[in-house]
């Protein structure tokens, strides 16, 4: 009878998760040559996000959004305007991954964000989040909040600049994002979406993510504000009590920490620049502006 700790047993949960993560990393190494085909390398047997997130995530789509007649039309419209389709992927015997580029590429600016999150999730020795301690803001040094023994998670900011996400006026999803997020979910990493949008729009936000393919099961937790005085900073910190936020993607530095909204001279925060590419990732908005 196998040992109860199931070392090296194929059916051991830890072994299965490690195997999935290894496959995800190998597939991502091929991304520059595979373009959109990388989506076929992964399936999405996603554990219910609602079961992985605790009471501190205040607003979320906890169950799959029901299908509606217009959903098929929406998917058809996306497909006809350039949504990428899946194809076969052959994994290689790569023994090491290339060093990630902080800037990404024009084809897929999300690659550094995804690869970093996969590496962090694979490193069981690291227990620091991408959020800063309160004293780090005073010293303007990258001292991170700890989050030991919590499920790894990433945060994607939906807002464009300082404007809250408007689910009724979105274009196509950013190239590479859907495929990258699918790879993260397959590796057991929770995907959180944050926005200054009102929690009253939770259904519209969930629909936009579902129809675009960015959240194809409609189960990613949504962090939205409930009152005018609510802040995304608080939403990120509360979520980090239940998961370990290992990476954040946004289109401005204040998407990582609200400190940047209050600095008279942004140059004084030079000590925090080491966070860029090691937890904080500058990326385009998840949705492009609609074509006139």
Q: What is the pLDDT of residues 82-114, one digit of tens each?
A: 333 333 333 333 344 334 434 445 567 899 999
Assigned domain for 290 exists: no
Report the C-alpha gap between 286 and 160 in whole angstroms: 9
Report the C-alpha gap between 109 and 140 in whole angstroms: 27
59 secondary structure, DSSP code:
S
**Residue indicated by tokens 């996400």:** 165
With 60 as the cut, is the pLDDT of residue 60 above it?
no
pLDDT band at 42 (very low <50, low <70, confident <90, very high): very low
C-alpha distances out from residue 77 to 7, 164, 205, 211, 292, Å = 48, 25, 18, 10, 16
Nearest in space to 46 (alpha carbons), one of 192, 187, 243 = 187
**Residue indicated by tokens 């990428």:** 84
Residue-wise pLDDT tens digits, 145-176: 998 889 999 999 999 999 999 998 888 999 99
Report the C-alpha gap between 257 and 184 in whole angstroms: 23
Q: Quote the mean pLDDT of the chain.
A: 72
Range of the domain at 201: 13-89+100-282
Assigned domain for 27 exists: yes
Report the C-alpha gap between 197 and 210 in whole angstroms: 17
Does 168 or 211 have the greater pLDDT score?
211
CATH assignment at residue 171: 3.40.50
Assigned domain for 174 exists: yes
pLDDT band at 37 (very low <50, low <70, confident <90, very high): very low
Assigned domain for 5 exists: no
Strand partners, 157: 194
Assigned domain for 291 exists: no
Report the C-alpha gap between 241 and 264 in whole angstroms: 31
Tokens of 21: 């993560």
Assigned domain for 3 exists: no
Residue-wise pLDDT tens digits, 114-123: 999 999 999 9
Assigned domain for 1 exists: no
- Determine which helix (DSSP H) or strand (DSSP E) holds 63, and give its type and residue range: none
pLDDT band at 218 (very low <50, low <70, confident <90, very high): very high
Assigned domain for 6 exists: no
Does 245 or 39 have the greater pLDDT score?
245
Q: Looking at the 3D structure of the chain, how many domains does it have? A: 1
Task: Please state the length of the chain.
Answer: 292
């Amino acid at each position: 009878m196998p040992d109860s700790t199931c070392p090296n047993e194929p059916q051991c949960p830890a072994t299965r998760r490690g195997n999935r993560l290894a496959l995800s990393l190998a597939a991502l190494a091929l991304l520059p040559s595979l373009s959109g085909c990388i989506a076929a390398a992964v399936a999405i047997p996603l554990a219910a996000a609602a079961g992985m997130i605790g009471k501190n995530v205040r607003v979320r789509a906890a169950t799959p959004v029901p299908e509606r007649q217009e959903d098929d039309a929406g998917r058809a419209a996306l497909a006809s305007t350039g949504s990428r389709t899946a194809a076969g992927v052959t994994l290689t015997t790569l023994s090491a991954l290339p060093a990630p580029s902080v800037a990404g590429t024009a084809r897929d600016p999300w690659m550094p964000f995804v690869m970093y999150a996969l590496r962090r999730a694979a490193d069981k020795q690291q227990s620091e989040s991408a959020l800063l301690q309160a004293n780090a803001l005073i010293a303007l040094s990258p001292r991170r909040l700890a989050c030991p023994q919590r499920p790894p998670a990433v945060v994607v900011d939906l807002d464009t600049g300082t404007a809250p996400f408007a689910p009724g006026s979105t274009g196509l999803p950013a190239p590479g994002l859907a495929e990258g997020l699918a790879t993260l979910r397959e590796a057991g990493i929770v995907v959180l979406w944050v926005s200054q949008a009102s929690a009253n729009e939770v259904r519209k936000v969930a629909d936009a993510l579902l129809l675009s393919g960015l959240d194809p099961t409609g189960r990613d937790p949504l962090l939205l504000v409930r009152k005018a005085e609510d802040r995304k900073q608080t939403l990120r910190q509360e979520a980090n009590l239940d998961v370990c936020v290992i990476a954040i993607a946004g289109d401005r530095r204040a998407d990582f920490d609200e400190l940047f909204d209050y600095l008279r001279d942004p140059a004084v925060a030079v000590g925090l620049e080491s966070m860029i590419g090691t937890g904080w990732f500058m990326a385009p908005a998840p949705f492009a502006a609609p074509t006139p």
